[in-house]
Amino acid sequence: MKKFALLFCVFTLCMTSCNDETATPISAVDDRPEILSYIETNNLVATETDLGVFLVQEIEGSGDMPTSSDIVVVRYTGSYLDGEIFDQTQGTSTAEFSMTGVIVGFSNGLENMRVGEKSRIIIPSQYGYGANPSNGIRNNAILIFDTELVEIR
């Protein structure tokens, strides 16, 4: 009887944890309607990446596109949908990041930009900091990064 109960538990666990690729992770907040509303309300033209990150191109770039193994030099302003700024580079200063050292949504957005491009990257909370933010970021916040890709190293 104990074997049957154990097998049943293992079977149930497998069945409930298996999902197809289109399913939303259980811990994810569905930010898509709010992001689409923001895009529409602000009359933005956005493209969506394979992860569901949105890019609004302001200035077209003509250089290379970074890969996940690159180091990038950027200027950026990080804010929430309500416009409150939580982080930014100052003036003409830049920041240098390893593409693997930033949140998934930011690197995904950068991978779709060219050197010289300025774009607004709109990141669903599950590809930002989610429910476990650091440095004072709001829980489950949709993040916006107005970003200029200056250089790839």
Q: Does 103 participate in catalysis according to the annotation? A: yes
Domain total in the chain: 1
Residue-level pLDDT at 134 = 79
Per-residue pLDDT tens digits for 107-116: 999 999 999 9
According to DSSP, residue 151 is labeled E
Which pairing describes strands 54-59 and 71-80: parallel, antiparallel, or unpaired? unpaired
Classify residue 87: in a domain, yes or no. yes
Q: Does 142 participate in catalysis according to the annotation? A: no
Phi, psi dihedrals of residue 11, rounded to the nearest 5°: -60, -45
Give the range of the structural domain holding residue 80, as residue numbers without chain letter.
27-152
Measured over the CA atoms of residue 6, residue 12, residue 15 and residue 16, the dihedral's sign is negative
**Average pLDDT along the chain:** 85
Classify residue 81: in a domain, yes or no. yes
Classify residue 18: in a domain, yes or no. no
Q: Which of 80, 87, 146, 152 is catalytic?
A: 87
Looking at residue 80, which CATH number applies to its domain? Answer: 3.10.50.40
Q: Does 145 participate in catalysis according to the annotation? A: yes
Q: Does 127 participate in catalysis according to the annotation? A: no
Classify residue 147: in a domain, yes or no. yes
Q: What is the average per-residue pLDDT within 69-87?
A: 97
Classify residue 80: in a domain, yes or no. yes
Classify residue 8: in a domain, yes or no. no
- Between CA 77 and CA 95 the distance in angstroms is 11
Per-residue pLDDT tens digits for 18-62: 433 343 343 457 999 999 999 999 999 999 999 999 999 999 999
Q: Does 30 participate in catalysis according to the annotation? A: no
Residue-level pLDDT at 28 = 55
Classify residue 10: in a domain, yes or no. no
Q: Does 86 participate in catalysis according to the annotation? A: yes
DSSP string, 107-139: HHHHTT--TT-EEEEEE-GGGTTTTS--TTPPT
Classify residue 12: in a domain, yes or no. no
